[in-house]
Amino acid sequence: MNELINSILERPKSHKIAILAVVIVLLGGLFYSLLYAPRSAEIAKLQEDVEAARGQKTVKQQRAANLPRLQKEISDLDAKLKEAVAQLPNKKEMADLLSSISSKARESGLEILLFRPRAENYQDFYAEIPVDITVKGNFHDAVGFFDEVGRLHRLINIDNIGFKNPTVTGEQVILETTTVATAFRFLDEAERKKIAEDKAKAAKEKR
């Protein structure tokens, strides 16, 4: 491996940039396909867990009648519900979550060139918040950034990873990494009601 790296570093600068750019793009594609596929299945499973926990909690509360055993079951269901909900922040917590993502980029040694949240995309019980991100640094630091985001105790989907403008600085390749980080948050009861009303109104207007 060292001989291969030395052979590449001995080549003219233009050759080094071309070879390393191809390697980086191939590694980036492999990294994305293996570790950061969209989490639609995970979101759907989370929705099922939340709704099931809420339904079971309601049934147990109706039957509780101060019985210790059922009170214990309600407490356990409360804990499961809180654990599921904790993965999706509410509206007030979104600013802190987005700040955490940008902090992870800086802590990974990357320069943030672009960090731009898009408009929210509303689903049945949650909202998607896509964020366009462009950072500058070496490939290793970019991978470290994605790994740190994946360790956050929130659902974050990393998609559309791309690399551009590679330059050789000493023995390092510095490049710009682009991606879309999609965060998710729970909609409160008022938001869910409004969305349902808007859908009903739109459906009525189509008739």
pLDDT of residue 95: 87
* List of the chain residues with pLDDT < 50: 1-2
pLDDT digits 0-9 by tens, 116-145? 999 999 887 888 999 999 999 999 999 999
pLDDT digits 0-9 by tens, 32-42? 555 555 555 67
Q: What pTM, to 2 d.p., does this model score?
A: 0.62
pLDDT of residue 116: 94
* Those residues with Cβ within 8 angstroms of residue 188's Cβ, 6 or more apart along the chain or in another chain: 90, 91
Q: What is the 3-state secondary structure (H, E, C) of 141-206?
A: HHHHHHHHHHHCCCCEEEEEEEEEEEEEECCEEEEEEEEEEEEEEECCHHHHHHHHHHHHHHHHHH
Q: 65 by DSSP, 3-state: which?
A: coil
pLDDT of residue 187: 83
The type of residue at 172 is Q
Please give the Cα distance from 123 to 128 (Å, whole number): 8
Q: What are the φ and ψ backbone dihedral angles of 66, each rounded to 5 degrees?
A: 65, 15
pLDDT of residue 44: 67
pLDDT of residue 100: 92
pLDDT of residue 133: 96
Q: Are strands 126-138 and 121-122 parallel, antiparallel or unpaired?
A: antiparallel
* Rg over CA atoms, the chain: 23
Please give the Cα distance from 167 to 29 (Å, whole number): 19
pLDDT of residue 40: 57
pLDDT of residue 55: 80
- 174, β-bridge pairs: 138, 167
Enclosing H/E stretch for 111 = strand 111-117
* Angle formed at CA 104 by CA 100 and CA 110, multiple of 5 degrees: 140
